[in-house]
Structure 1
Amino acid sequence: MRLNEKQNISRKQLPGNNDYLAPEQDEIEVSLFGPGYGESVLLHIGYNQWVIVDSCIEPVSEFPAPISYLRRINVDPAIAVKQIIATHWHDDHVRGLAEAFKECKSAEFVCSVAQTTKEFFTLVAVYGARSMIESTGVKEFSEILEILRNRGTKNKFISPKFAVEGRCLWQRNTKPGDQSQPCAIYALSPSDASVLLAQIGLSKLIPQVGETKKRVPSLGPNHSSVVLLVTIGQDSILLGADLEETGNSNTGWMAIINSGTRPKEKASFFKIPHHGSVTADNPQVWSLMLRSKPISSLTPFATGKVFLPTKDDVVRICNNTDKAFATSIPKHPKSRSRPKMVEKQLKEMRIKLRSVYCSPGQVRARGRYIDEKINWTVQLLGGAIELKDIYH
């Protein structure tokens, strides 16, 4: 299918600041950025109300992509961003999150309830901002907690809002007046069982007395990840974060599907989880939680011998929808040679450096709520591409 045929898609390269226009007041926007380092979702709910989900860094500016974009379209993040949501603490989803939160002075900070455990706060204390062993995810949370402390007063402690299955995180109308549609953001995960498993996993990462500190690895499967459902009238937006399928009815995607408290509005936009990997796929999500052929997008991932999505992943996703997009093509960066002494020190400290690959992009969907659904228009910016063309 050609661009602009049936799908209402346009492709353009990233323009200069003066060429970017903000959405209209009554327009909904979902923008997916990546893979600078990780991924980020930016939502416009309407009437200059914005929400940032996760963060990634632009390779050139080394600044959070959603903040750069907001400035490019002349939106002040200090006023317009109402919430910043961290779906989980893994490095590739929170790089630059503290910087983004610093810029969004009136935003509420939301994170997984799994980040309230004693084990996670112990990790923050051990691997916080002053640690010589860099662990980006924990370091970002340490800095965010410090920002919250500074924003509070002696008589007013500002706490993060914690996301857990079934909790409404935010609720407003899309616009003022009689024609407004109710809008809400719900956390669909983690489940109680997932929080317990995340707690057990975190306890294993805390170094014992006398043990050398090591870089904190990402845990898998990702039990603490926060899946979000944004409901707008009778339509919705499903943001899959990095939640994986576990084969257990009380955790992962099956826990969401089996939930009796889950809002039943089917989504017309789907942020595909875990870079399109089969480990995060559950066919019932497509049949029970999504409208037919939803707009779907993902960020690619490439490290070591791992390329996501794989060719099989692309075929599987495209069999479910012909409106699937990726922010870039997955490819490895060229390796860089370093002095032997530097390589030795990195090895001793168990630090692995990963370069960012080129051509980060943005999948941007905008639409208005008409006749009980959002009529989307998709733009592919920078290195973004239709998913079916990713391996061509």
Structure 2
Amino acid sequence: MDRPDAETAEISLFGNGAGECIVAHLGYGEWIVVDSLRNSQGEPVAKRYLEDLGCNIDRDVKLLVCTHWHDDHCDGIGELFKLASQAKIAVSSAMTVEEFLFHVQQCRSRLLIKETSGLHEMAEVLEELKARYPKIPSPAPHYLAASGIVVYSREAADRPAEVKCLSPSSQVQHDAKQKLGKVLADSSAIAGRLRVPDPNLLSVAVRVKLPGCSLLLGADVPTGATERHGWRSIIDEHSSATHVSSLFKVSHHGSETSWHPPIWDNLLCPNPPALITTFARCGLPKDDQLSKIKSKASAVYVTRANNRFKPKKRRRVDATMSTRVTNRTTTTADPGHIRIRWPLNATPHEGKVELFDDAVQV
């Protein structure tokens, strides 16, 4: 694949029906990566893609953002963080109880909670931070992302760039701490009552500002029950007629829980292109939600042509699998890939859209 030149911006969205990753070129050889998934060879897709472009990951990747520690958003981010040794990392400032206990577990021998793949990635990141900062007993991520926090800034007057977090809100952070406090106050509550009502509220939406436009990357943020949660809080805090975005990475695979028309009216320019990663296990996005998104967007692209694949029926396999898992779906061999490139001083509307592997326009 050809590498973009210094004055060309790019956003690449990868998805295989069970995960997603965004790789973005901010111009002048500077890249950021938001979330991670692995390809069929077990490599982080961002690693393989950037190497195929001839990039030096150690030098060129400036920032990693882990929007939240769900398995479909962080698979391979620990490995990528080790490779991108000059990059800083931003993670959500709000944690579930499981995630907090896992932090504690890293410092103690007592087993507090079973490690999941998401928590394994958290451990990989923590280990890399310890390796980079050996004189600090417990080094933190470079940024604890929250509403209003700028996690990357290029201040050159002729080619500015900025990555700003739009969530989680202060209320969501407060709610997470309250939940944690209640559990820690009652040790018997540790087992069985760990989950917050909607862990996606903890995820980090970001706005990427470039010389000619900005991009809205929605992570898994839901609408929110009140004006201080989710998209409702983002709109209240970050709506600005001068800062509307020209492209939308639709949140939470285009699900009904993240559909909120004021996003399109207050945070986006009219008819932006919309990019969606599918989630096969839940059949997302649903057809009715796609219709709503298409009514607001100039074009809609998804990373997978058919998001409702089901495993073939095999009696012996089914009998064995039924004792181990409750829900099975198939994924494509390699992620679908949506790529848009455009002049740095222009907008994605003026760019070139390329679709690879299973990605399609709908």
For the pair 1:55 / 2:36, whether they are aligned, the reply is yes
The residue number in structure 1 matching 2:332 is 358
Q: Contact 1:70–1:77 (CA<8 Å) still a contact in 2?
A: yes
Decide which of 210, 218, 223 is 2:201's aligned counterpart.
223
The residue number in structure 1 matching 2:361 is 386
Label 1:216 to 1:80 Cα distance change in 2 as closer, same or farther (>3 A): farther
Tell me, in whole angstroms, the C-alpha distance in 2 between the residues paired with 1:373 and 1:385.
17
Tell me, in whole angstroms, the C-alpha distance in 2 between the residues paired with 1:204 and 1:24.
52
Decide which of 129, 142, 148 is 1:166's aligned counterpart.
148
The residue number in structure 1 matching 2:19 is 38
**TM-score when scaled to structure 2?**
0.87
Q: Contact 2:35–2:67 (CA<8 Å) still a contact in 1?
A: yes
**Comparing both structures, which one devotes a greater share of its residues to strand?**
1
- Structure 1 unpaired stretches of 5+: 1-19, 388-392
Tell me, in whole angstroms, the C-alpha distance in 2 between the residues paired with 1:315 and 1:184.
32
Label 1:371 to 1:107 Cα distance change in 2 as closer, same or farther (>3 A): closer
For the pair 1:314 / 2:298, whether they are aligned, the reply is no
- Structure 2 unpaired stretches of 5+: none
Label 1:212 to 1:255 Cα distance change in 2 as closer, same or farther (>3 A): closer
The residue number in structure 2 matching 1:123 is 102
User: Aligned partner of 1:300: which letter?
Assistant: T
Q: Contact 1:135–1:215 (CA<8 Å) still a contact in 2?
A: no
Residue 331 of structure 1 and its aligned partner are, at CA, apart by: 2.1
Decide which of 63, 70, 73 is 1:90's aligned counterpart.
70
User: Aligned partner of 1:121: which letter?
Assistant: F
Q: Contact 1:133–1:214 (CA<8 Å) still a contact in 2?
A: no
1:247-270 CA-to-partner distances (Å, cap 9, x unmatched) read: 310111010111168794111111
1:14-43 CA-to-partner distances (Å, cap 9, x unmatched) read: xxxxxx111111111100001263101011
User: Aligned partner of 2:76: which letter?
Assistant: G
The residue number in structure 2 matching 1:28 is 9
User: Aligned partner of 1:120: which letter?
Assistant: E
User: Aligned partner of 2:58: which letter?
Assistant: A
Residue 213 of structure 1 and its aligned partner are, at CA, apart by: 6.8
The residue number in structure 2 matching 1:244 is 222
For the pair 1:70 / 2:45, whether they are aligned, the reply is no
Q: Contact 1:272–1:296 (CA<8 Å) still a contact in 2?
A: yes
**Comparing both structures, which one devotes a greater share of its residues to helix?**
2
Decide which of 307, 315, 321 is 1:330's aligned counterpart.
307
1:281-335 CA-to-partner distances (Å, cap 9, x unmatched) read: 11111111111211210101121xx211111011101111131100102023415
Tell me, in whole angstroms, the C-alpha distance in 2 between the residues paired with 1:61 and 1:48.
27
Q: Contact 1:119–1:199 (CA<8 Å) still a contact in 2?
A: no
For the pair 1:106 / 2:106, whether they are aligned, the reply is no
User: Aligned partner of 1:331: which letter?
Assistant: R
May I ask how many residue pairs the two structures share in their alignment? Answer: 355
User: Aligned partner of 2:301: which letter?
Assistant: F
1:201-224 CA-to-partner distances (Å, cap 9, x unmatched) read: 567888x86899789879625211
RMSD: 3.3
Decide which of 80, 83, 89 is 2:60's aligned counterpart.
80
Tell me, in whole angstroms, the C-alpha distance in 2 between the residues paired with 1:159 and 1:267.
31
Tell me, in whole angstroms, the C-alpha distance in 2 between the residues paired with 1:153 and 1:258.
41
Paired residues for 1:199-218 under 5 Å: 199-200=177-178
Q: Percent identity?
A: 29
**TM-score when scaled to structure 1?**
0.80
User: Aligned partner of 2:151: which letter?
Assistant: L
Paired residues for 1:340-359 under 5 Å: 344=323, 346=324, 354=328, 356-358=330-332
Tell me, in whole angstroms, the C-alpha distance in 2 between the residues paired with 1:233 and 1:262.
17
Tell me, in whole angstroms, the C-alpha distance in 1 between the residues paired with 2:94 and 2:84.
24
